[in-house]
Amino acid sequence: QLYKLGPKHVFNAGICVAGVATILFGFLDHFTDRTTFITLCFVVRIIEALGDAAFITASFAIIAAEFPESVATTFASLETFFGLGLIVGPTVGGALYQKGGFTLPFVVMGGLLLVVAVLT
């Protein structure tokens, strides 16, 4: 199915879905009912995971097509940056949380994802 739609379209759609879901997650703290909050947290995170899966899978396909002679090196670079994101992300997220509360880290990250989708 990936090549019927095209990896670039799947990549951009996945980033858009993940970005919108991330922003929506940031506003879930406005729900006061615990059951509604927990249910929506699961639903929004599942939608975000689908977007993440789409753009990560498409990124691997794009790398394999664009860099056929250096696939291993390019994959290693991609995974390195994923790891750096996991290291730096909590620090940046914590600073944004202190600055603007629960919503700000999610709006910033989701907004960045949407900007990337437009630019690619």
Q: Are 14 and 52 in contact (CB under 8 A)?
A: yes
Tokens of 81: 């940056």
The domain segmentation of the chain, as residue ranges, is 2-119
Q: Are 23 and 102 in contact (CB under 8 A)?
A: no
Distance CA 93, CA 106 (A): 8
Residue-level pLDDT at 5: 80
Distance CA 84, CA 74 (A): 15
89 closest CA partner among 38, 44, 22: 22
User: Could you tell me which residues come within 8 angstroms of residue 24 by beta carbon, excluding any fewer than 6 positions away?
Assistant: 44, 110
Residue-level pLDDT at 44: 98
63-85 pLDDT, tens digit per residue, is 999 999 999 999 999 999 999 99
